[in-house]
Amino acid sequence: MKLKSIILKNFRAYREQTVIPLDDLTAFIGKNDVGKSSILQAVGLFLGSDALKLDAGDRCVHSSETEVRIGCVFTQLPAELVIDVAARTTLADEHLLNADGDLELHQIFECRSGKVSEKGIVALAVHPRAQNAADLLLLTNAQLKLRAKDVGVDLQQVDQRSNVELRQAIRRTIGSLDPGPSEIPLNKEGGKEIWEQLMKELPVFALFRADRPCTDEDAEAQDPMQVAVRQAIAELSGELETVKTRVKERVLDVATRTVAKLKELDPKTGANLSPRFRAEPKWDAVFKLNLDSDDGIPLNKRGSGFRRLVLLSFFRAEAERQQTARGARGIIYAIEEPEASQHPENQALILDALTRLAANSGCQVLLTTHVPGLAGLLPTTSIRHVTRQADGTTSVSSGTDGMLKDVASDLGVLPDSRVRVLVCLEGPNDVKHLNHLARILRAADPTLPDLKHDPRLTLITLGGENLRQWVTQHYLRRTGLCELHIYDRGTSTPPKFQAACEEVNARTDRSAAFLTQKRELENYLHADAVEEALGVRVVIDDSANVGEAVAEAVHAAAPDAATPWSALDDEKQRKKTGHAKRRLNDEAAARMTLDRLIARSARDEVTEWLRAIAARLPAIEEPRTTHGGTHADQAHA
């Protein structure tokens, strides 16, 4: 199941009911102490994280109500629920879905007089309200039989052992069910049986907190390493059993001979003595594991940023182990301030890794941040702005230009005033790919522009942009700056962006636009670069759908690929293709060379784009001098 939104009411600073939509990757952005971490912890409380427990202090201090609610709305629901061997049902058949066809569950707590009691779990659903139909999930088997008899069900035609069949028969007999908004308790009778099955379908929740320590003695770091020890012990259990038996034989022999000698000295003293092992050997307590670098430096002596990266990796390993152990179909990674102690380059690498992680089937990533460098790299669709109101309560906004402007203002994500040329591409994948191609060509011709580091230009996307790109567009696109557009040709005739290119080329401000000669930038890749990066071999020509072909090949090559590509649902195919495209435009593009570009007949075309960009850049201004020296010289003097 996938978490679509979280609902908070009277929880900490969230006094009024607050619905917070979630994506595959969701970032909660705001100043310190506004309620970002509370959202992550609320998700963990609902999903039963062992590290979290609600207490009386979690009730909103600005409210007189004593009831606290944490709700979760789920999509991608199980096709059926197996109540027992003979009873199978669906959430739709039990009328447990809300008006949007989603499963909305609320966990309710009572916080009174400094004590917390759990009132239970309810489903908010469009449920039958007709007489004799509204309370069926609350009835025992005996009560359902009586109800069925009262409404006229032919019990000879129903398996009377199955509550599922009895409820279905009663509803069919009643006919007009008068469905409407209802709260259905799932902590009683039939509802409890359904909740027990739903708990098996819930995603695993793993929280990486900002304030945790970062040494190799931490439980989070030790646990995955100890798991590795336990797995090794399990694999070698036969050999270890032999060792244990031989040790026992040796020790028992010594013990037996010792008792015999004692009896010789004093028969009464030795009469009641017999050798016995007090406990089985605990192999996992014998083997301890630490991480040392090649030069012997232990982890707890390394820099805090490095330790945190290692611990974040342990966190992921442990979360995935829990997912496997539980057989869960999904996993939610909640990470507070992933940028903490990290260099800006590492921040970008971490975010890129989390973005790829969120693109995996069954994965969602929730994170918090208040750092401009990281926030600027986030996709705008993923951003949720968390703000503290004048009355001390918290609100969360998303999805509007006004919200993005507020985030940019709060965090100081500002455009570079040195920009003079806008290079407009379709999406973030194109930005990465073109940067790689420019690097390769510039190594052979230094007159070509450095797209990644030249402050006179900026690459922006016209779709799927991140916050920094949105800021750049918002502030710069109406300034009259020169623009150079590069659009995918695609497969349609005429090309989808033909008219847009003609419009840009008709301007009189030196702006220009190009259509790629091939289908899209993935078609400029060489098959060798793709194989080196992703481990699969595909045919690449000028019109192939490279992203989908690679996604299918990677899926087929996976060890657990029991389901053929054609049998995957559209959502899984879309995610796998998106993941493949991201890797192609970054990892495979990074492995391109000048010879490979020439082999794909791409060198001249890409060079033409880069020369067009260079021709529109103003000359680099030399530092002004006074009396023969630069300002820097004078300052140094």
Summarised one tens digit per residue, pLDDT across range 264-320 is 777 776 666 666 666 777 776 676 666 666 566 665 666 666 666 666 676 666 666
DSSP secondary-structure letter at 145? H
Q: Is the pLDDT of residue 524 over 70?
A: yes
CB 177 within 8 A of CB 136: no
Task: Grade residue 173 by pLDDT with cuts at 50, 70 and 90.
Answer: very high
In this predicted model, which residue has the larger pLDDT, 267 or 502? 502
Cβ-Cβ contacts under 8 Å for 325 (sequence gap 6 or more): none
How far apart (Å, rounded) are the C-alpha atoms in residues 565 and 575? 12
Over the stretch 32-88, which tens digit does the pLDDT of each residue have?
889 999 999 999 999 987 667 899 889 999 899 999 999 999 999 998 888 765 688
Are the C-beta atoms of residues 137 and 191 closer than 8 Å to each other? yes
User: What would the pLDDT profile of 212-264 be if each residue is shown by its tens digit?
Assistant: 555 555 555 555 555 556 656 766 777 888 888 888 888 888 878 877 777 77
Q: What is the pLDDT of residue 204?
A: 84
Residue 606 has pLDDT above 60, yes or no: yes
Of the chain, the percentage scoring pLDDT greater than 90 comes to: 48
Kindly state the helix (H) or strand (E) to which residue 21 belongs, with its residue range: strand 18-21
Name the phi and psi angles at 57, rounded to 5: -70, -10
Distance CA 512, CA 484 (A): 5
Q: Which of 257-261, 354-358, 446-450 has the lowest mean pLDDT?
A: 257-261
For residue 530, the model assigns a pLDDT of 97
Please report the beta strands in 279-436, taking only residues with DSSP state E, as ranges in sequence order. Answer: 331-336, 363-369, 383-388, 394-397, 421-425
d(CA 585, CA 438): 13
**Tens of pLDDT, residues 174-224:** 999 999 999 999 988 778 888 988 988 898 888 877 555 555 555 555 555
The answer to whether residues 373 and 347 touch, using CB atoms and an 8 Å cutoff, is yes
Tokens 């509370």 found at: 38
Decide the pairing of beta strands 512-515 and 457-461: unpaired
Q: Six-digit token pair at 2?
A: 């996938």
In this structure, are strands 629-630 and 625-626 parallel, antiparallel, or unpaired?
antiparallel
First to last CA, the chain: 66
Residue partners of 616: CB distance under 8 A and separation at least 6: 420, 421, 482, 484, 510, 512
Handedness of CA 337, 340, 343, 349 (dihedral sign): negative
On whether the pTM is more than 0.85, the answer is: no
Tokens, residue 105: 């569950």
CA distance 337 to 466: 18
Q: Give burial (CB, 10 Å; 0-12/13-18/19+) of 274.
A: exposed
Average of per-residue pLDDT values in the chain: 84
What pLDDT, on a 0 to 100 scale, did the predictor assign at position 44? 92
What mean pLDDT is predicted for residues 436-444?
96
- The amino acid occupying position 263 is K
Candidate from 72-81, 476-485, 597-606 with smallest mean pLDDT:
476-485
In sequence order, what are the beta bridge partners of 333? 206, 365
| Amino acid occupying residue 484 | L
The reported pLDDT for the residue numbered 281 is 74
Phi, psi of 465 (to 5 degrees): -75, 160
